[in-house]
Amino acid sequence: MHHMYREIRETPEALLKVKRKMEEIREIAENLVEKGIKRIFAVGCGTSYYIAVGGLYPLIKYSNIDVYPLPSSEFFLNYLNKVDSKAAVVGISRSGSTAETLEALKRANRRGGLTIAISCNEEAEMLEIVDKSFAVKVEEKSIIMTKSFSTMSYALSCLSAHYLKEIEIEEGKILVGELEKIPDVSKITLEKGEVAREFAKKFVEEGIRGFIYLGSGPAYALALEGSLKIKETSYSMSEAMPTLEFRHGPMALLGEKIKLVIIALEGDTLEVTLRLIQEVKEKGHAPFVLTNSDKAAEVEGIYIPVGLNETLTVPVMITPLQLLAYYYCVSKGLNPDKPRHLVKYVGRF
């Protein structure tokens, strides 16, 4: 069995490790409030940057605190002027050794920012240089990040939700209550996601040459990470964009051997996403849809009625997309455990 597949299957138990340490996360949220933090940067590289994009949505949707999900490099090259004692910088890194993320945290420290680390490595050097840290031991032999994405997404979502509760935003209490369910919901999306195998084989048989992942809001983080998994394991061209952006140019690609992967989540973005699905079908395209809404259930794809607030779905709805990339890779006769040119982490820049 490939490391990548086994590690996807281990996601629910990895999420339980975060749940067991929830009090540590609540204490970090409490510290953000005590310090009077006015803006929060979440930074990472590759998959870990996409964790930053998805994990801040509770704050984006339900608070007026300024949030900046950024690649670590973009943060320290272009945003340092916004860092002072009222800024928090959350570094996200499976290894805790990625050069750009370490550099981002070191420069944030020098500007007096409150630095926080989230990692899957309890011995990470990153944990030594920050003010507060949260780490769980979630080891992956695979270069390709899978359960580690869900783990650190869950941790960041928990931090966001607990912050909302600490500043007495009504939705905070609701979200914190829902956090408890996530490890069990993960078992459901894992089992329902296995049907991705049939779709992956079909894509290979159809000679699909490229993918465009569409998602809005939290689903945009799912689109970014789902697209990266395909690139990393199958060397297929793949792009992710906010759902309605597809209509402003990329729509011209319909007719080529591409497959649209559209993530449709219950919530503020569902209606426009359903209209886009209808629009591309009328143009003769058969999109693949990952959804938790019965309103999109009849479209070809994977329907999992996950009863979570949309801002908490990223750690669990990514699993079917990880499985889709895994099965597409092996259906093409490639080895997901030996991705061309990639390393476990990039230790210099």
Of the pair 43, 265, the CB lying nearest ligand F1P is at 43
Q: How far is residue 273's CA from residue 122's CA, in Å, rounded to a whole number?
A: 40
Task: Output the residue with the shortest Cβ distance to ligand F1P.
Answer: 46
Task: State in angstroms the smallest separation of the CB of 80 from ligand F1P.
Answer: 20
Which stretches of the chain bind ligand F1P, using CB under 6 A? 45-48, 93-95, 98, 101, 143, 145, 342, 344-346
Task: Closer to ligand F1P by CB, 237 or 342: give it.
Answer: 342
| Least distance (Å) between residue 149 CB and ligand F1P | 8
User: Smallest distance from the beta carbon of 113 to ligand F1P, in angstroms?
Assistant: 19
Minimum distance from residue 347 beta carbon to ligand F1P (Å): 10
| Cα-to-chain-centroid distance, residue 317 | 9
Say whether 82 is catalytic: no
Closer residue to ligand F1P, CB minimum distance, 4 or 25: 4
CB of 213 to ligand F1P, least distance (A): 16
Chain centre distance of CA 273? 19
Q: CA dist 307 to 31, 313, 317, Å?
A: 30, 9, 11
- The catalytic position among 86, 202, 231, 344 is 344
Residue 72 or 186 having the CB closest to ligand F1P: 72
**Residue closest to 151 by CA, chosen among 183, 192, 187:** 183
Q: 47 or 291, CB closer to ligand F1P?
A: 47
User: Catalytic residue positions?
Assistant: 344
